[in-house]
Amino acid sequence: MQIETPPIVIDTSGADIHRENAKIRERGPVTQVELPNGVRAWSITGYEAGKQVLSDPRMSKDGHQHWTAFVDGEVDPSFPLIDWALMDNMNTTYGHAHSKMRALVARRFTPQRIKAMRPTIDAAVAGLLAGLSTSQTGSIVDLKARYAYPLAAHVIFDVLGIADAARGTILGDGEAQVDTTKTGEEIAASVDRGLREMADLVEAKRGDPADDLMSDLLAAQEKDGSGLRDAEIVGTLSFLLGTGTETVTNLVINSILALLTHPDQLELIRSGDASWQDAIEETLRVEAPVAHLPFRFPTEDVQLGDVTIGAGEPVLMNFAAIGRDPAIHGASANSYDITRSRKDHLSFGHGGYSCIGKALGRLEAEIAVPALFAHFPDLALAVPASEIKPQSTFIMNGRDELPVLLSPAAAESA
């Protein structure tokens, strides 16, 4: 009699995602895991398996249609991750519906538009650095709260067309929505608040259109018979707001932290032996901003190596593990080495659902990180790296805060 190996139970606190991923990877590149409420899913930790999943047109993100357990009424509505499968937005559509919405949104993320945003990003970074410079000598500064997060928010606000008056409140529940230690009821309430606030902004925009994505979607709804629904527009804008802030914040913070904890790598950049782009790309590989992204659902049975994923079974993309796949990066897969010749990762996805704002995210990091180290050449962590707490989530790979000293030498002499 064959005894089934129980799935690995995911730690909802996200306390040590890399150690957990090592355990998952030991069982193979496609491994069953257990989520809250006993929901079972497949975690993809292998690079080649990940590329196959991400490029396979049979992999849907529409839980309403293709999540068998949900369709059969077997999913408890209190499941904390249920909105990741059922929210009404560009990211949870399939086939033509997804292509249609993605094409509309993509117009705001063309190479020409991204290039044109550089002066705006430069100005935002300069303003934030000036604000940091007013900090009292020797005081501890949280670079997440005062640098990375406000930069990411400012940029995505501009792209979407969020009114200035709403910018102080619309992000209030952003991190709560990815906090996987919260109950399903808490997360649902947070999501509902965010959607209501976005719906109000959309209604206000109807009477005051501008050169922004929100206006683009409303114009498409009115002019071309696209069939876009209000809920779809609101959901897509909310999704882009969340990804545009959380993902970019994590990329910037993870890059800064990696360089502060690997001073030899920082010196390679300063000596001209490596580039800032090398550092950003290696950070994307070894510290993916999104760790364990839900969900995909095969529309039919899919074979991945020697594993068959049944139609309608949930699949998680374990980007944090994929970037550290030893089959691609060898024995040094866990090491931060900006000079490595091969930095392959899937941290911005691949195929039809790849991150639509990946070029913008890279640009923000490639401006923000070098500008920070140029402005504060003596930048140092204010606490040991081991004391910097991760976000309370297994979905994202970020930090609660990044406490630093902007000028340690000045602090020591004070």
Angle of CA points 163, 93, 66, to nearest 5°: 145
Kindly state whether residue 363 falls inside one of the protein's structural domains: yes
> What is the rounded average pLDDT for all residues in the chain?
94
Q: Is residue 3 assigned to a domain?
A: no
Q: Model confidence at 172, in pLDDT bands (50, 70, 90)?
A: confident
- Once rounded to an integer, what is the mean pLDDT over residues 21-47? 98
Least confident among 41-50, 73-82, 218-227, 341-350: 218-227
Mean pLDDT of 137-150: 95
For residue 77, is pLDDT > 90?
yes
* pLDDT on residue 408: 62
Is 238 a domain residue? yes
Mean pLDDT, residues 251-267? 99
Once rounded to an integer, what is the mean pLDDT over residues 123-132? 98
What's the CA gap between 350 and 355, in Å, rounded? 8
Mean pLDDT calculated for residue range 255-284: 99
Domain span including residue 17: 8-413
Q: What is the pLDDT of residues 359-398, one digit of tens each?
A: 999 999 999 999 999 999 999 999 999 999 999 999 999 9
Query: Looking at 274-402, which runs of residues are DSSP E strands?
Result: 293-298, 302-304, 307-309, 315-317, 380-381
| CATH classification at residue 115 | 1.10.630.10
Q: How many domains does the chain have?
A: 1
User: Distance between CA 160 and CA 152 in Å, rounded?
Assistant: 12
What is each CA distance from 366 to 220, 243, 248, 261, 283, in whole angstroms? 33, 18, 11, 19, 12
Looking at the domain assignment, is residue 124 inside a domain?
Answer: yes
pLDDT for residue 224: 64
Q: Please indicate, yes or no, if residue 187 is contained in any of the structural domains.
A: yes
- pLDDT tens-digit map of 275-304: 999 999 999 999 999 999 999 999 999 999
CA–CA separation, 346 vs 322, rounded Å? Answer: 7
Q: What is the pTM of this model?
A: 0.96
* Residue 137 pLDDT: 84
pLDDT reading at 73 higher than 50: yes
pLDDT above 70 for 409 = no
With a cut of 90, say whether residue 168 has pLDDT above it.
no
225-234 long-range contacts, CB within 8 A, separation 24+: 226/100, 226/104, 228/101, 228/104, 229/88, 230/199, 230/202, 231/88, 232/88, 232/89, 232/90, 232/101, 233/202, 234/88, 234/195, 234/198, 234/199, 234/202
In this prediction, residues 341-351 reach a mean pLDDT of: 97
- Burial per residue of 74-100, b for 16 or more beta-carbon CB atoms within 10 angstroms, e otherwise: ebeeebbbbbbbbbbbbbbbbeeebeb
Does residue 2 lie within any of the structural domains? no
If pLDDT is split at 50, 70 and 90, which confidence band does 412 have? very low
